[in-house]
Structure 1
């Protein structure tokens, strides 16, 4: 697993519940803007398990590094936070590192105790689709 993502998991897992929501809001504000070529979600996959419109795209670069792109409206801060966590935690990670991210990431972070099961389901679907795209490109 990428070291920065492991740090983020530990930070959330050890944080008091009342601080977790504040931490999520910080990550919601940290989602990088989409590059111009992805405007209009061209080439991005929608994640229908999310209650809000959420789009993602993973690109495995020739050097094996994964670039992940996410788009989610600001009106969905919890879902945007998932994107921010993945964007920061996976920055510079290789395909093998991304594929090694545990599927129960959000439970390991303790988010299943802080947010609704529906939101955790959406976050889990985001990770699953991201990993599927990486796996397909790395094959």
Structure 2
């Protein structure tokens, strides 16, 4: 008898004929029969309970408002690997507060098939003064 998997996957490495090989075992049950698809990293202010940035005291006193757009490298564990400002609010205090908050956020990582991988997400932070 030849041990063969029920649905070979194109992503699987050629397996030796010996059945008790530990390396391919984790990938085989989770591998879909079709080629693995990649998903983008997802940022989640509301969905993951990430707290909004703290409004800087200086910005409140001076009535500064602004929008900061960030590019976040999301690691496979869902943490931010790096956070960079792609569009500044024009006020360094607001930009810094946005970056500092997002560094501590948790994200849904990108995936290749069922495996979390590094990816990128964009997040817009709006600083609006309380009414």
- Same-fold status (TM-score > 0.5): no
Question: TM-score normalised to the size of structure 1?
Answer: 0.31
When you count strand as a share of all residues, which structure comes out higher? 2
When you count helix as a share of all residues, which structure comes out higher? 1
Which entry has the higher C-alpha Rg, 1 or 2?
2
Question: TM-score normalised to the size of structure 2?
Answer: 0.32
